[in-house]
Amino acid sequence: MTQAQTLRGALWSIQAYAAFYLLQGGLKLAGVIYDPAAHRAFFGGPPQGTQMRYYGDVLGASAAALAVFALSRFLPAKRPPDLWILTGTALALIAFDVTFFFSRVLAAP
């Protein structure tokens, strides 16, 4: 893996993780749900009662980040990536995530 591919892959992975995490949690898309009372995991949603989707969201975002990092190995990098554009995009996506989850704290009764 070349240096340019490593740099690009690292920042793409952060972008993919943040985007997938926001889409899964924010849009309440179907995902892996764990029911702690029944000791059972299943695909579906939204969670009911004490069921939780945190594991599924982290797993999904991690899988997206790993897939993008693997993809970056195979796509040629002819010139060094523009790191500030990639970093700005990654941090903007992270900021969307944080803003969304912080807004729920502010909206809580």
Partner 1 sequence: MSPGPIPPAGTLAFESASVGMLVVHAVLGFTSVGASTHHAVYSVLIARGQKRFAQLRRFSLIAPAAVITQVLLGMALYPTYRVRVRAADFDLHAPVLTQLFDLKEHLAALSVPLLLGAVLLGRTLTQDPPPPPATPKVLATLSVTAAAFIWTTALIGSYITARHPVGMP
Structure-token match 């995530």, residue found: 97
27 binds partner 1 (CB under 8 A): no
Q: Is 68 in the site for partner 1 (CB under 8 A)?
A: no
CB nearer partner 1, residue 27 or residue 108: 108
Q: How many CB atoms sit inside 10 A of residue 61's CB? A: 21
Please give the full DSSP string across 9-33, using - where no structure is assigned.
Answer: HHHHHHHHHHHHHHHHHHTT--EEE
Classify residue 62 as exposed, middle or buried by CB count within 10 Å of its CB (0-12, 13-18, 19+).
Answer: middle
> Is residue 92 a contact residue for partner 1 (CB under 8 A)?
no
The residues that touch partner 1, with contacts defined as CB under 8 A, are 3, 6-7, 9-11, 13-14, 17-18, 21, 25, 34, 36-37, 39, 48-50, 52, 54-55, 57-58, 61, 65, 80-81, 83-84, 87, 90-91, 94, 97-98, 101-102, 104-105, 107-109
